[in-house]
């Protein structure tokens, strides 16, 4: 993968940042923590593909010492692509680093191998990876040391403690270095609204994410290396930022659970629950990757099934068949006209629904081309308006596909 494909929400390419004597962060997508010890370097996370190669070059600006141990905070490949690190060790005549991860990382990597084609497609869309560039490389080997709930080890005179914590993944962990009062948080902290409810990906964990942040705060760290974004230093600054995330997640969780217990169904919950604006009034929580609406989806998926409360949707016909019936009843001209009027009124999301109705009708070649172009235009407007990288990528990929369908 290229730097450009991921640089939109990262600080990739920056020089190593010295947080304390013998303690560094190499910024990237994602960040790599570096600890100098008497037995060699200890790293936390390695980014994917070409980004890993760049990270290693910056690592060697810090030290020529071999990498003794690599902790992986979770199995996402912007944190767990350790092949280049192993290769570099062998080229330099060192033993490969021992790789430590929570036990479910191994399961995740096996799942990625099974579903490689699917993940290649969804990651190409999510991160706008250019054609011809691999969108989903994965490690060729598994971690060496696996743990369940906690792992404590002493390396080169320093104690390292890893803690399993459900959050963005089921295999997530964070690492505590007490001698340096430092936490390596992985994607529990990402300088964006938490990525719960990703439209493409498997279950993430809202309440547990908040609990993990609170467990980190109980250590009273002075330095926090996030999975993405700038280094955070100072006990009070760390406390303020992590409580912002925790409070927002707990608020959304509380509001969704309250409505579920009152018998409110999925669609209504989705449109009723919103984060108070003052809770989003901070660049640290800007929805540049995840967003509150995605979190609501994630909570609902965690606690409920797929039934939405309407028995008409239990065994429904295809949406395109329903659209064709509506188009036949209302008339394609009226539907196309209404789609255009909604666009002109600035109601792009509703206009898209009418475009889809029109495309199910018996359109002429010219009419179909016009509708595909209108849909592309609407998706472009929504993509430029949204701030979430994921949402923007979906909209812009949809625009590209509609323009292909429209033809020259």
Q: Are residues 192 and 323 in the same domain?
A: no
Q: Are residues 218 and 339 in the same domain?
A: no
Contacts of 293 (CB under 8 A, 6+ apart): 197, 270
CATH code for position 112: 3.60.15.30
Which residue shows structure tokens 């993944």? 169
Q: Could you tell me if residue 231 is inside a domain?
A: yes
Q: Are residues 81 and 214 in the same domain?
A: yes
Looking at 8-12, 188-192, 250-254, 281-285, which range is the least confident one?
8-12
Checking if the pLDDT of 264 tops 80, the result is: yes
Q: Could you tell me if residue 352 is inside a domain?
A: yes
pLDDT tens figures, 333-353: 999 999 999 999 999 999 999
Number of domain units in the chain: 2
Q: Are 73 and 105 in contact (CB under 8 A)?
A: no
Q: Could you tell me if residue 261 is inside a domain?
A: no
Q: Are residues 115 and 27 in the same domain?
A: yes
Q: What is the mean pLDDT of residues 317-333?
A: 95
Q: Are 282 and 244 in contact (CB under 8 A)?
A: yes
Looking at 101-105, 136-140, 248-252, 361-365, which range is the least confident one?
136-140
Q: Are residues 369 and 224 in the same domain?
A: no
Which pLDDT value is given to residue 206?
98
Q: Could you tell me if residue 334 is inside a domain?
A: yes
Range of the domain at 326: 317-406
Strands across the sheet containing 145-147: 17-20, 23-26, 32-37, 40-44, 67-71, 98-102, 145-147
Q: Could you tell me if residue 308 is inside a domain?
A: no
Q: Could you tell me if residue 281 is inside a domain?
A: no
Q: Which of 275, 234, 251 is nearest to 20 (CA)?
A: 234
Which pLDDT value is given to residue 6?
39
pLDDT tens figures, 2-38: 333 334 345 556 899 999 999 999 999 899 999 999 9
Q: What is the mean pLDDT of residues 310-336?
A: 96
Q: Are residues 200 and 346 in the same domain?
A: no
CA distance 272 to 281: 20
CATH code for position 378: 1.25.40.880
Q: Are residues 243 and 324 in the same domain?
A: no
End-to-end CA distance of the chain: 30
Q: Could you tell me if residue 105 is inside a domain?
A: yes
Q: Could you tell me if residue 237 is inside a domain?
A: yes
Boundary residue ending a domain (247, 275, 302):
247
Checking if the pLDDT of 313 tops 80, the result is: yes
Q: Give percent of the chain above pLDDT 90.
A: 90
Q: Are residues 230 and 129 in the same domain?
A: yes
């Amino acid at each position: 993968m290229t730097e450009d494909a991921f640089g939109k929400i990262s600080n990739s390419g920056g020089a190593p940042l010295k947080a304390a004597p013998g303690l560094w962060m190499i910024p990237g997508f994602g960040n790599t923590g570096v600890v100098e010890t008497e037995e060699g370097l200890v790293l936390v996370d390695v980014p994917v593909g070409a980004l890993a190669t760049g990270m290693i070059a910056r690592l060697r600006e810090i030290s020529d010492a071999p990498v003794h141990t690599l902790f992986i905070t979770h199995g996402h490949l912007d944190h767990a692509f350790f092949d280049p690190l192993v290769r570099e060790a062998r080229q330099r005549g060192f033993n490969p680093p021992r790789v430590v991860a929570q036990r479910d990382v191994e399961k995740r990597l096996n799942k990625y191998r099974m579903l490689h084609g699917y993940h290649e497609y969804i990651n190409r869309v999510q991160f706008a990876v250019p054609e011809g560039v691999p969108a989903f490389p994965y490690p060729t080997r598994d971690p060496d040391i696996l743990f369940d709930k906690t792992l404590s080890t002493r390396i080169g005179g320093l104690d390292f403690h890893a803690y399993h914590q459900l959050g963005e993944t089921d295999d997530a962990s964070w690492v505590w270095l007490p001698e340096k009062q430092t936490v390596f948080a992985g994607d529990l902290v990402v300088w964006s609204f938490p990525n719960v409810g990703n439209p493409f990906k498997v279950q993430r964990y809202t309440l547990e994410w908040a609990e993990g942040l609170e467990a980190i705060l109980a250590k009273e760290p002075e330095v926090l290396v996030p999975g993405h974004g700038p280094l955070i230093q100072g006990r009070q600054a760390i406390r303020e930022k992590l409580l912002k995330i925790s409070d927002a997640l707990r608020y959304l969780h509380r509001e969704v659970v309250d409505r579920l217990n009152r018998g409110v169904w999925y669609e209504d919950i989705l449109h009723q629950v919103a984060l108070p604006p003052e809770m989003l009034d901070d660049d640290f929580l800007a929805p540049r990757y995840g967003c509150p609406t995605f979190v609501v989806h994630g909570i609902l998926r965690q606690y409920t099934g797929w039934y939405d409360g309407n028995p008409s949707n239990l065994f429904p016909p295809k949406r395109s068949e329903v659209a064709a019936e509506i188009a036949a009843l209302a008339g394609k001209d009226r539907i196309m006209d209404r789609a255009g009027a909604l666009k002109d009124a600035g109601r792009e999301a509703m206009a898209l629904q009418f475009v889809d109705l029109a495309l199910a009708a018996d359109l002429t070649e010219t009419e179909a081309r016009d509708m595909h172009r209108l849909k592309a235009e609407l998706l472009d407007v929504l993509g430029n308006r949204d701030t979430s990288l994921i949402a923007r990528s979906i909209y812009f990929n949809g625009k590209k596909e509609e323009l292909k369908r429209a033809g020259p």
